[in-house]
């Protein structure tokens, strides 16, 4: 046998919401508002995110533009130095052997250009052909500078670092640190005849860098092909720590251009702008990524999440407004209707100023309907009371008329000449008495639809006991009914006639021989679900032949007709002097 699989619980069941019950009005309105605002909020969130990304791209572009502008400023300074050297190389410097004309020209040029500290004209063999300022007498010839060989090999305008021999002046920030700008000089045969060199102090390029506005955590530097820092300006750490980590592993002009993001030698990620400059040098602009402050980041996150917050707030507000404007007034109407259904005729819906016009209309309709029903109920009660009074008056008059007829029959019975004539009058009086007893019960009852059979039979026994008497004495009648048993008026009248006939039959058969009077006891008991049982017990053997068919007597046919009309069953126990009548439900 295959085991039945358990149904999977949805997310609504996990949070305690029953799936059997439909969502309430508040939940449905909140969901509808959320569904209506969701596309707008998503569009606003996407737009805010796109705006954030666009702003980030703008910041990156601004960084690149700032770096390119700073490097372009340095490129202009180097270009001016190159033009200066090209202009000097085109001057007529005379015979290089004497060097007087050349030195004099160099001195005038130095005086006019404060950024140049010295000028040299060096042969390809490294010998100084001309210089300014001139070397003092007695000074020893310095060794061949390292940059001479590099300048001959370069064959173009180049910038070189000149090592300082001063132990105390070592370093790029030293006042004795120099940069050497070289330009090859060619002869008519396009062969290199010498090197024109200009010595430029570091402060010259650094002063040019000071004119560039740098943001916080940014650096600007000039590098040679070996990553040596020729000049720098920083706001933060030194450029050595700012250099990209890849510069230590690779070299070459092909990687020294463009814009990229990379970790520096100090392990921090930065944005770099690198461009080639005149003089076989490179310009480097580095800047830390803009770190947003906690407040700005919180505002940014809030701006991105704001559409979602608007969605949640709008849904909550719609649900709360629905609860206050619609649900609570409707609950008041519902509670009033429940009270009215429970029987509180005075239940009304009070005026609620916060309710909508439609809910107020429903409440007004209910109050009007309840008022109309109350007016009609009062009119019906008044009509019913009037009808009861009329029926009671009719029963009272019928009873009085029956009493008058009974009195007239009693007077007429005194003129009877034979016992049979007197018996006829007695039978009619007995039956009129039963009919009057039923009308008296209807007259005294508040509900005409049913009669208490126990009370009716007790009154019938009392009235019969007063009206029936023989020459041997009155019969003693008793009636016992443990529980109230009700019947419709027609069934009560038929039962009263049956009891009257049973009493009559029992009293007619009395004889004076040792029987001065008789005791007749009635008991009416209920049979649950099956009706009731009427039992008559007589203390004398007067029931013999009660149900025998005799052509000269019509009482048997009367008994059978009454029992058939009641849809009952009657048994006679002659030896035990007991009559049992099983009655169906009479109401």
DSSP string across 299-316: HHHHHHHHHHHHHHHHHH
Per-residue b or e along 282-298, where b marks 16 or more CB atoms closer than 10 Å to that residue's CB: bbbbbbbeeeeeeeeee
Judged by DSSP in three states, 161 sits in: strand
The CATH superfamily assigned to 214-291 is PAS domain (3.30.450.20)
- Taking the whole predicted model, whether its pTM rises above 0.85 is answered as no
Judged by DSSP in three states, 356 sits in: coil
**pLDDT of 551:** 54
Question: What is the share, in percent, of the chain residues with pLDDT greater than 90?
Answer: 7
The CA-based dihedral angle spanning residues 259, 264, 269, 274, taken in that order and rounded to the nearest 10 degrees: -10
pLDDT at 584 over 90: yes
Q: Which among 218-227, 253-262, 361-370, 397-406 has the top mean pLDDT?
A: 361-370
Average pLDDT value for the chain: 76
Q: How far apart are CA 357 and CA 67, in angstroms?
A: 68
Burial (0-12, 13-18, 19+ Cβ within 10 Å), 71: buried
Are 159 and 279 a contacting pair, CB within 8 Å?
yes
Q: Tell me the domain boundaries of the chain.
A: 214-291, 313-380, 449-583
pLDDT band, very low/low/confident/very high, at 248 (cuts 50, 70, 90): low
pLDDT band, very low/low/confident/very high, at 379 (cuts 50, 70, 90): very high
pLDDT at 384 over 60: yes
CA atoms within 13 A on the CB side of 129: 19
What tokens were used for 351? Answer: 């005026």
Among 87-91, 232-236, 504-508, 559-563, which stretch is predicted with the lowest mean pLDDT? 232-236
**pLDDT of 583:** 93
Alpha-carbon separation of residue 228 from 200, 251, 454, 545 (angstroms): 16, 12, 130, 150
* Same fold yes or no, 214-291 and 449-583: no
| C-alpha closest to that of 181 among 247, 256, 280 | 280
Are 130 and 103 a contacting pair, CB within 8 Å?
yes
Q: How far apart are CA 453 and CA 475, in angstroms?
A: 22
Alpha-carbon separation of residue 295 from 57, 59, 300, 363, 376 (angstroms): 21, 18, 9, 53, 72
The two beta strands, 476-480 and 519-527, are: parallel
Q: What pLDDT digit, counting tens, does each position of 282-339 carry?
A: 888 887 776 666 777 777 777 777 777 887 888 788 777 777 777 888 888 888 888 8
Are 518 and 542 a contacting pair, CB within 8 Å?
yes
Alpha-carbon separation of residue 475 from 130, 398, 467, 481, 508 (angstroms): 176, 28, 10, 20, 11
Are 520 and 476 a contacting pair, CB within 8 Å?
yes
Q: Which among 17-31, 309-323, 430-444, 479-493 has the top mean pLDDT?
A: 479-493
| C-alpha closest to that of 91 among 76, 112, 117 | 112
Which residues neighbour 405 within 8 Å (Cβ) at sequence distance 6 or greater?
432
**pLDDT of 40:** 75
Q: Which among 161-165, 301-305, 538-542 has the top mean pLDDT?
A: 538-542
> Between 510 and 309, where is the model more confident?
309
**pLDDT of 469:** 58
Per-residue b or e along 327-364, where b marks 16 or more CB atoms closer than 10 Å to that residue's CB: bebbebbeebeeebeeeeeebebeebeebeeebbeebe
Instruction: Judge: domain 449-583, CATH 3.40.50.1000.
Output: no
> Between 22 and 372, where is the model more confident?
372
Q: How far apart are CA 208 and CA 347, in angstroms?
A: 94
pLDDT at 552 over 60: no
What tokens were used for 187? Answer: 């002869």
H/E run at residue 519: strand 519-527
What tokens were used for 323? Answer: 């609860």
H/E run at residue 395: helix 357-413
**pLDDT of 143:** 59
Residue by residue, what is the 3-state secondary structure of 448-485? CCCEEHHHHHHHHHHHHHHHCCECCECCEEEEECCCCC
Are 510 and 518 a contacting pair, CB within 8 Å?
yes
**pLDDT of 230:** 75
Are 77 and 208 a contacting pair, CB within 8 Å?
yes
Question: What is the share, in percent, of the chain residues with pLDDT greater than 70?
Answer: 78
* DSSP structural state of residue 264: B
CA atoms within 13 A on the CB side of 459: 20
- Average pLDDT of span 550-575: 78
Judged by DSSP in three states, 130 sits in: strand
User: Tokens 């916060």 correspond to what residue?
Assistant: 354
């Amino acid at each position: 046998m295959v085991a039945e699989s358990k149904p999977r619980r949805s997310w609504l069941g996990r949070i305690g919401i029953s799936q059997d019950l439909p969502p309430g009005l508040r939940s449905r309105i909140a969901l509808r508002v959320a569904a209506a605002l969701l596309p707008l909020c998503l569009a606003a969130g996407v737009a805010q995110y796109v705006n954030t990304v666009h702003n980030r791209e703008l910041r990156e572009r601004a960084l690149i533009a700032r770096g390119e502008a700073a490097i372009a400023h340095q490129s202009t300074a180097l270009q001016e130095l190159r033009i200066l050297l090209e202009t000097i190389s085109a001057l007529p410097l005379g015979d290089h052997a004497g060097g007087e004309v050349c030195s004099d020209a160099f001195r005038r040029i130095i005086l006019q250009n404060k950024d140049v500290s010295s000028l040299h004209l060096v042969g390809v063999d490294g010998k100084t052909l001309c210089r300014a300022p001139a070397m003092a007498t007695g000074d020893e010839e310095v060794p061949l500078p390292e940059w001479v060989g590099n300048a001959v090999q370069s064959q173009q305008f180049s910038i070189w670092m000149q090592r300082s021999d001063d132990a105390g002046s070592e370093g790029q920030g030293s006042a004795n640190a120099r940069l050497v700008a070289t330009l090859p000089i060619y002869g008519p045969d396009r062969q290199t005849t010498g090197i024109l060199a200009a010595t430029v102090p570091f402060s010259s390029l650094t002063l040019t860098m000071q004119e560039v506005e740098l943001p916080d955590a940014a650096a600007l530097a000039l590098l040679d092909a070996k990553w040596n820092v020729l000049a720098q300006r920083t706001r933060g750490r030194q450029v050595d720590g700012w250099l990209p980590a890849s510069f230590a592993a690779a070299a070459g002009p092909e990687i020294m251009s463009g814009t990229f993001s990379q970790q520096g030698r100090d392990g921090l990620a930065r944005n770099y702008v690198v461009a080639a400059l005149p003089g076989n040098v490179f310009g480097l602009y580095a800047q830390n990524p803009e770190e947003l402050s906690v407040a700005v980041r919180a505002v940014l996150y809030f701006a991105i999440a704001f559409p979602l917050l608007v969605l949640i707030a709008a849904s909550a507000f719609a649900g709360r407004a629905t609860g206050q404007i619609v649900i609570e007034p409707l609950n008041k109407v519902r509670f009033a209707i429940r009270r009215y259904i429970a029987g509180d005729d005075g239940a009304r819906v009070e005026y609620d100023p916060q309710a909508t016009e439609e809910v107020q209309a429903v409440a007004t309709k209910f109050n009007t309907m309840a008022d109309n029903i109350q007016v009609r109920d009062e009119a019906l009660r008044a009509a019913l009371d009037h009808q009861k009074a009329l029926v009671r008056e009719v029963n009272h008059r019928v009873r009085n008329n029956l009493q008058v007829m009974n009195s007239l029959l009693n007077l007429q019975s005194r003129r009877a000449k034979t016992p049979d004539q007197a018996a006829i009058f007695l039978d009619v009086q007995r039956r009129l008495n039963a009919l009057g007893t039923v009308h008296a019960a209807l007259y005294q009852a508040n509900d005409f639809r049913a009669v208490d059979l126990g009370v009716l039979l007790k009154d019938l026994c009392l009235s019969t006991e007063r009206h029936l008497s023989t020459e041997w004495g009155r019969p003693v009648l008793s009636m016992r009914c443990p529980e109230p048993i009700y019947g419709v008026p027609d069934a009560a009248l038929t039962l009263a006639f049956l009891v009257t006939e049973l009493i009559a039959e029992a009293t007619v058969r009395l004889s004076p021989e040792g029987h001065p009077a008789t005791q007749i006891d009635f008991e009416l008991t209920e049979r649950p679900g099956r009706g009731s049982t009427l039992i008559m017990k007589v203390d004398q053997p007067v029931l013999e032949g009660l149900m025998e068919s005799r052509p000269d007597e019509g009482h048997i046919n009367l008994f059978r007709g009454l029992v058939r009309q009641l849809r009952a069953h009657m048994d006679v126990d002659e030896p035990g002097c007991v009559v049992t009548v099983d009655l169906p439900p009479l109401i």
